[in-house]
Amino acid sequence: MSTHTTAQAALPNKVKLVEVGPRDGLQNEKQFVGADIKIELIERLARAGFQNVEAASFVSPKWVPQMATSAEVMAKIERRPGTIYSALTPNIQGFDAALAAHAGEVVIFGSASEAFSQKNINCSIAESIARFEPVAKAAKANRLRLRASVSCAFGCPYQGDVPLDAVADVVARMRDLGCDEIDIADTIGVATPRQTQTVMLRAAAAFKIDGIAGHFHDTYGQALANIYASLEVGVQIFHASVSGLGGCPYAKGATGNVATEDVVYMLNGLGIETGIDLDLLVDAGMFISEQLGRKGASRAGNALAAKRAG
Ligand code: HMG
Ligand code: MG
């Protein structure tokens, strides 16, 4: 029998968490969620300490009806100094709306999968990059932060495997558009930890590692392990959704993002600073779960709530 030891990889001391529940989470809700509920959720999340909350999506209301209140939400939220409120902008029409709504960061969203690009934004990858070019230029001209999301970087609900070269190619195109941050997204939550490291390292060959974000959905229960695996290769930005809200309307069966409460609990245990107040985050999770009329999907959130009730 052989034994082997592995050197413990140095983990970052500090991580930036982007709370995507109000957008990625709520966009997938079947029941209508009113602007007042979204506003309270966003304000609660900002108070819990997030530097970045994905608050809106300026897409076609015919495609994603739940996001049709984005302008109202952005107009009415009380803004916390130091918090960046991001908005998805698939094209220049979306950008103009985001600019008018005073978004602090605009998010172009492409895909490493041709099939998903067609289903999600109704164009090929190459066409999407052409649509993003004027958005990127306008973002720079208006001094807005520019973030890009690369969907289906670990697998696609329509085409299955996604080649590493396709991920690297889209990351390089997004870099060339001048992005400040690039999200490597597991849209359908199929990735496993070794694969995660391979994909992250490949993305990091094309873009600065401190600008790469891990966006993991938790469909197969792998998201926390994938975050840990990403930390081991130097990723320092992660997306998460309070109470594990969400899914993608164009990725059937995909569940929500990893629950933010679970991520904060894990990072606290690892001694990694996030700046998030876990108690206030649990409150926000309880608030939105109550509004949606169901138990939250965060294991840590539910455990901490039960302990309080205790
Ligand atoms: P299209 O039909 O090809 O666009 O849709 P079009 O330019 O031909 O316009 C058609 C109609 O849409 C027109 O209206 C436009 O005005 C309107 P009509 O004349 O028919 O009344 N339109 C818009 N309305 C509002 N805002 C806009 C806008 N653009 C056009 N910005 C389009 C193309 C991209 C608009 C459409 O496919 C769309 O809205 N897709 C949204 C898909 C989406 O939001 N998916 C979920 C978010 S992505 C995601 O969740 C993944 C992520 O979390 C990472 C991950 O997990 O992978 C980010
Ligand atoms: Mg997503």
Q: What is the pLDDT of residues 201-217, one digit of tens each?
A: 999 999 999 999 999 99
The architecture of the domain spanning 3-309 is Alpha-Beta Barrel (3.20)
pLDDT band at 7 (very low <50, low <70, confident <90, very high): low
Q: How far does residue 244's CA lie from ligand 1's centre (Å)?
A: 24
pLDDT for 253 equals: 77
Rounded to the nearest whole angstrom, what is the distance from the C-alpha of residue 123 to the centroid of ligand 1? 10
* pLDDT tens per residue, range 109-119: 999 999 999 99
Ligand 1 within 6 A of 224 CB? no
Cα of 252 to ligand 2 centre, how many Å? 12
Centroid of ligand 1 to alpha carbon of 239 (angstroms): 22
- pLDDT-derived band at 101 (thresholds 50, 70, 90) equals very high
Task: Respond yes or no: is residue 248 known to be catalytic.
Answer: yes
pTM beyond 0.75, yes or no: yes
Residue of 60, 121, 167 with the most ligand 1 atoms within 8 Å of its CB, for mutation: 60
- pLDDT for residue 250: 78
Give the mean pLDDT of the chain. Answer: 95
Tell me the percentage of the chain whose pLDDT exceeds 70. Answer: 97
Residue 158 Cβ inside 6 Å of ligand 1? The answer reads: no
Can you tell me the mean pLDDT for 232-246? 97
- Of 189, 276, 287, 195, which is closest to residue 15 (Cα–Cα)? 276
pLDDT one-digit tens code per residue, 184-202:
999 999 999 999 999 999 9
Q: Which of 174, 37, 145, 24 is nearest to 85 (CA)?
A: 145
DSSP annotation of 238: E
**Average pLDDT of the segment spanning 250-262:** 89
pLDDT-derived band at 251 (thresholds 50, 70, 90) equals confident
What average pLDDT score do residues 256-264 get? 98
CB 120 near ligand 1, within 6 Å:
yes
Q: Does pLDDT of 4 surpass 60?
A: no
Q: What is the pLDDT of residue 310?
A: 84
Q: Ligand nearest 186 Cα, by number? A: 1
Q: What is the tens place of the pLDDT at every residue in 144-198?
A: 999 999 999 999 999 999 999 999 999 999 999 999 999 999 999 999 999 999 9
d(CA 28, CA 25): 6
At residue 257, φ and ψ (nearest 5 deg) are -65, 165
Structure confidence by residue, pLDDT tens digits, 9-39: 799 999 999 999 999 999 999 899 999 999 9
Report which ligand 1 atom has the smallest distance to the Cα of 90. Answer: 34
Q: Helices marked H in the chain — which ranges?
A: 35-47, 70-76, 92-100, 114-121, 125-141, 164-176, 193-206, 223-232, 260-270, 278-292, 299-309
Q: Number of C-alpha atoms within 13 angstroms, CB side, residue 83?
A: 23
Average pLDDT over residues 95-101: 98
Beta carbon of 64 within 6 Å of any ligand 1 atom: yes
Burial class (CB in 10 A: 0-12, 13-18, 19+), 293: exposed
Evaluate: CB of 182 within 6 angstroms of ligand 1.
no
C-beta of 207 in contact with ligand 1 (< 6 A) = no
Task: Name the 3-class secondary structure at 17.
Answer: strand
What are the residue ranges spanned by the domains of the chain?
A: 3-309
Composition of the chain by helix, strand, coil, percent to 5? 45, 15, 35
